[in-house]
Amino acid sequence: MTEPNLLDVVQSHISQCGCDLGLDENVMELLRSPLRELIVSLPVRMDDGRLKVFQGFRVQYNDALGPMKGGVRFYPVQSLESVRALAALMTWKCSLHGLPLGGSKGGVICNTRELSKKELERLSRAYVRGIYSFIGPRRDIPAPDVGTNATVMAWMADEYSCLAKENVFGIVTGKPLFLGGSAGREEATARGGWYAIREAAKSIGLELAGARVAVQGFGNVGYHAARLAAAFGCRLVAVSDSKGGILKEEGLVPEAVQEHKAKSDSVVGFPGAKNISNQELLELDVDLLVPAALEGAITAANADRIRARIVAEMANGPTTHEADTVLSKRGIHLIPDILCNAGGVIVSYFEMVQNFDLWSWDEADINRLLDRKMVQAYDAVRKTSQKEKFNMRQAAYVVAVKRLVEAMRTRGWV
């Protein structure tokens, strides 16, 4: 069976939402169409003197609600279509959480494992030069995603500032603290996801104390998701990365797993734990499953074998449309990506506000505001789901798209 790509998945969700809300075809056409798409060729001088040309993308999907916001993915397998799908998800996500922002996304086809630090820096700077005239702190603000991090954001902020001939640190978010980054940004996606899990557990009557957790993916989001499990009283029993997974019933210490990964390039082989496959991790008998890797983890092929009570989508697009139906029929409580993983963009928005004010907020204040935003969005989605008998994904789309369409109507677009 060939699985649908991410754009198919996102298009199915939006078509379903169109039916749920009874939207007319003109509105649907706007919702399906990105505002602007850019493909750039990025020539980069490699360490051995060769010139290599990388392909980059920036998709600006919809700015009805405000300047566009979206991460940049440095990853070998991507296309204009996959970046378009991620930009659409950003649009619904910002709307669902009541942020005054639209959605965008960027990407460069590359394998960061094969680049030296200097090559990565030159590529990051080339990407900014390629998209310079399309972005801006009040227009479109990139951030980290798969394969990029605070260091990459610092190079991007510096390159943009050199071209603009003034310091414009607010051009990106997810920066290091001393360049205008925000406290709490690095763990924000995972922390926001945990606030949503806490609300979900309350709502379905699951006791979090002692609940068993499996996390798929051990990168920025997955590591912090694993690390925060203990703060919410849960026991982390399994984690995985692209090379495989590990299971330890008595509980894993994420910091120790991280140290092992730093030395051996994978979580696999962690002393005292059993090696398992990526597929086995997804199908473990746990209370909470956190997909925090890439799209297409839960599909029609394995949805009937997922045993967790809550699936918290900290990754973008990990579950297909067909798998959604199977999970909701089986009574598994899904916290959809646009609800669950918005902590990153919410704290990025706080970072923008701090940058505009040349001010910095305390981490405790940031976490409190993030908590409030996640609770508000979770409540709105849960209530819509119960009232209209929609599954959680349908309900999240309904809340998000209603607000976006209202903005488009108010601006006279439809």
d(CA 250, CA 195): 24
Query: Which SS3 state, helix, strand or coil, does residue 102 take?
Result: strand
Q: Is 322 exposed, middle or buried (0-12, 13-18, 19+ CB in 10 A)?
A: middle
Q: Which stretch binds ligand NAD (CB under 6 A): 114-122, 154-162, 218-226, 379-387?
A: 218-226
Q: Does 220 participate in binding ligand NAD (rule CB under 6 A)?
A: yes
Concatenating the DSSP letter of every residue in 197-224 gives HHHHHHHHT---TT-EEEEE--SHHHHH
Q: Determine whether 210 is exposed, middle or buried from the number of CB atoms within 10 Å of its CB (0-12, 13-18, 19+).
A: exposed
Minimum CB distance to ligand NAD, residue 21 (Å):
25
Tokens of 199: 């609300």
Site residues for ligand NAD, 274-293, by CB under 6 A, read: 278, 292-293
Nearer residue to ligand NAD within complex by CB, 18 or 180: 180
Q: CA-CA distance, 380 to 363, in Å (whole number)?
A: 26
Binding string, 252-271, against ligand NAD, x = CB under 6 A?
A: --------------------
Residues binding ligand NAD: number (CB under 6 A): 24
CB of 239 to ligand NAD, least distance (A): 9
Q: How far is the CB of 27 from ligand NAD (least distance, A)?
A: 27
Give the strands of the sheet with 51-62, arranged side by side. 36-45, 51-62, 102-109, 68-75, 140-144
| Candidate residues 67, 102, 184, 219; the one interacting with ligand NAD per rule CB under 6 A | 219
Is 105 part of the annotated catalytic residue set? yes
**Choice among 52, 69, 93, 105 that is catalytic:** 105
201: tokens are: 């557990």
Closest separation between CB of residue 338 and ligand NAD, Å?
A: 10
377 binding ligand NAD? (CB under 6 A)? no
Positions in the binding site for ligand NAD (CB under 6 A): 144-147, 189, 216-222, 240-242, 278, 292-294, 314-316, 341, 344
Catalytic positions are 105
